[in-house]
Amino acid sequence: MNEHSRSSLEGSERGPFSPLQPFDIAHPTHIAVVEPDTAFWGLVQKNRLADSLAGGPLRDKLRAKGAAFAQEMDLLRFHLKPSAVYFNPTERCNLNCTYCYIPGDMRRRGKQMDTREVLEALERLHHYFRGHMPEDRLPQVIFHGAEPLLAREAIFAGIEAYGDRFRFGVQTNATLLDEEAVSFLTSRGVGVGLSLDGPVAEIADRTRRKWSGVGVYDHVVRAIDMLEGYPGYNVICTMTSENLPHLTEMVAFLHERKAPACMLNVTRCTLPGARAVRGDDADVATAYIAALERTHQLYLETGRKLVVANFANILIAILAPTARRLMCDISPCGGGRSFFALAPGGDLFPCSEFIGVPAFNGGNLFRQPIEEIIASAPFQKVIGRKVEDIEGCDTCVIRHFCGSPCPAEAHEMNGGMTQKGAFCAFYEEQVRYALRLIADGRHEDFLWDGWDEGAETACSIGAN
């Protein structure tokens, strides 16, 4: 893992061409310079930009370590093997959220696994992961959906039987999460993800409702209260046109409830329903950055962090690329490379976003080896999507801090894998903001404590 440089540099050695490219971060005194292919970067004073591009310590370090950084990036992008699975034990859901990427017919009348099928699937997954993962590292299984707790008996049996062979997580809408379920999950160290889109029912229930139209805000708040003090849970808030003006209130609400982490996710525009509530890029960026600033203010006031995990991942992607925890902001993305998704009938997809798109069904877990499925054309179509083949992304300075997500979105909304997804301008602003925080020395306040334990600093010039 490498922590790249932040510096105030003086030029020395001159040259006619610089591999470093300027990237304006809207900072009063500093500008970023980036070597896009290796994601090597530095922060330089604006009045020394020309000297820094011409030569000096930053270029010297790139010359000395550029090959190693390129090798590291190549390993991250093209040589990973899956270590996680999004396990969908049911296609059904008791909610009809506006932006869901699973088609409505599947959520109403879809397939659902029984206990025997869940256990058989876990055994096959265990056999696959043990074929390439170190013995001291457990693969991750995230029960996902639709609503996985509709298959509660089956997934709890799986957690009980395979608790020593997987790290488990459950992403739930919380409507079926009672005290007994919370006790079961927390006593076994299972990660719990909840979803809530607003600090009050009037906002949250606009996009997350039962089929009857009734909102579920009260269910989620009750679950948050039951989970207080448990470090292994987080809350996802999907940013839409319905809640953008209330994001600062949302993070204040979660901080007050002592949530350890949250995610402020853009709307995935794979299906038309999500596109109807997609916020404008500039509006999303403004609201998002304001919410991040509010978390920082609350941290300074109380000494307690609310980590916004998806933003923390962007910071880590800049500071130490191989330490990133999420794989949506690298190209190719993690779909089919670091994780895949299992549907209730045993079909495998590169990512859960593709479960409603039959063309991306790579094969069936119960009938084929997983290695064969990953080598299939549907998986390789996703695995092979890279920024170098996407117009505009191919010349973007920050292409390896963004990754041009999301392939499902690009394919379904914009017509193909060589198209951009949504929110290009938002992703640019997110990286600018992250680099401004680094320039100001505030970035550690937005990260998990101890995030860099075990990391090796490969490059640090003039750090202060």
The average pLDDT across 138-158 equals 97
What does the radius of gyration of the chain's CA atoms come to, in whole angstroms? 22
CA angle (280 as vertex; 29, 389 as ends), nearest 5: 80
pLDDT of residue 452: 82
pLDDT of residue 325: 86
Token output for 333: 């993305």
Task: Write the CA distances from 388 to 234, 303, 314, 403, integer angstroms.
Answer: 34, 43, 20, 10
Q: Are 392 and 421 in contact (CB under 8 A)?
A: no
Q: What is the pLDDT of residues 362-392, one digit of tens each?
A: 999 999 999 999 999 999 999 999 999 999 9
**Which tens digit of pLDDT belongs to each residue from 279-310?**
999 999 999 999 999 999 999 999 999 999 99
The 10s digit of each residue's pLDDT in 414-461 is: 999 999 999 999 999 999 999 999 999 999 999 999 998 766 665 655
Looking at per-residue pLDDT, the higher value among 388 and 4 belongs to: 388
How does DSSP classify residue 112?
Answer: B
Separation in Å, CA 23 to CA 15, 396, 397, 402, 429: 20, 10, 7, 14, 11
User: What integer pLDDT is reported at residue 461 of this predicted model?
Assistant: 56
User: Which helix (H) or strand (E) segment is 40 a member of?
Assistant: strand 40-45
pLDDT of residue 453: 77
Which residues, including other chains, have CB under 8 Å from residue 231's CB and lie 6 or more apart? 260
Higher-pLDDT residue of 18 and 374 is 374
The average pLDDT across 340-346 equals 97
Distances (CA, A) of 454 to 2, 310, 457: 11, 21, 10
Whether pLDDT at 30 is above 80: yes
Q: Are strands 261-266 and 233-239 parallel, antiparallel or unpaired?
A: parallel
The three-state secondary structure class of 361 is coil
Query: Is pLDDT at 6 greater than 70 in this prediction?
Result: no
Is the pLDDT assigned to residue 9 strictly greater than 50? Answer: no
**pLDDT surpassing 80 at residue 13:** no
pLDDT one-digit tens code per residue, 218-255: 999 999 999 999 999 999 999 999 999 999 999 999 99
pLDDT digits (tens, 9 = 90+) for 65-122: 999 999 999 999 999 999 999 999 999 999 999 999 999 999 999 999 999 999 999 9
Classified as helix, coil or strand, 86 is: strand
Among 126, 122, 94, 88, CA closest to 107 = 94
